[in-house]
């Protein structure tokens, strides 16, 4: 009888260990604010190097903003390192970032560290964040 209890306990521990390991692994929580509630799709992209920045995404998540105009996304169990976050609000769900007159003023987008470049794109060094602990928080305001 004791052997069965010990075996069940060991099985439970082995099933829980990956979950516990993920909880201790570095991760990023991205909170995007100032979105129109329930319109379009919000896409959060994580880049893991300067060479791949804006060309080759490492991870992506997408979804809808809540009724308060906030979208949250988490990237769990990622390796320690430097990353950049880019957020795009595809307001009309056409799968691309639309620009307005003269190339700006269309759909909203933002970068980690809330970097705003009036002309051109920021470089990785401006927007990079260091991820070396669980729950690194990145807040991006799309105003």
| CATH code where residue 62 lies | 2.60.40
Whether 74 is in a domain gets the answer yes
- Give the strand pairing for 59-63 and 41-47: antiparallel
Inter-residue contact 50 to 21 (CB < 8 Å): no
Torsion of the alpha carbons at 109, 111, 113 and 119, rounded to the nearest 10: -80
pLDDT value of position 21: 44
Whether 60 is in a domain gets the answer yes
Whether 3 is in a domain gets the answer no
Segments in the chain below pLDDT 50: 7, 11-13, 16-22, 102-103
- pTM for this predicted structure: 0.78
pLDDT value of position 14: 53
User: How many distinct structural domains can be found in the chain?
Assistant: 1
Which residue, among 137, 139, 136, 116, has the nearest Cα to 126 in the 3D structure?
116
The residue segments making up the domain with residue 126 are 25-141
Whether 78 is in a domain gets the answer yes
């Amino acid at each position: 009888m004791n052997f069965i209890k010990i075996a069940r306990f060991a099985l439970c521990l082995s099933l829980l260990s990956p979950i516990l390991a993920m909880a201790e692994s570095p991760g990023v929580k991205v909170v995007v604010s100032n979105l129109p509630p329930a319109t379009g799709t919000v896409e959060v992209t994580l880049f893991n190097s300067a060479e791949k920045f804006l060309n080759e995404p490492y991870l992506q998540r997408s979804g809808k903003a809540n009724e308060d105009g906030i979208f949250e996304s988490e990237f769990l169990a990622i390796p320690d390192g430097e990353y950049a976050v880019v957020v795009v609000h595809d307001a009309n769900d056409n799968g691309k970032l639309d620009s307005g007159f003269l190339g700006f003023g269309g759909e909203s987008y933002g970068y980690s560290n809330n970097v705003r470049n009036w002309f051109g794109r920021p470089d990785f060094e401006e927007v990079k964040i260091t991820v070396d602990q669980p729950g690194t928080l990145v807040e991006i305001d799309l105003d």
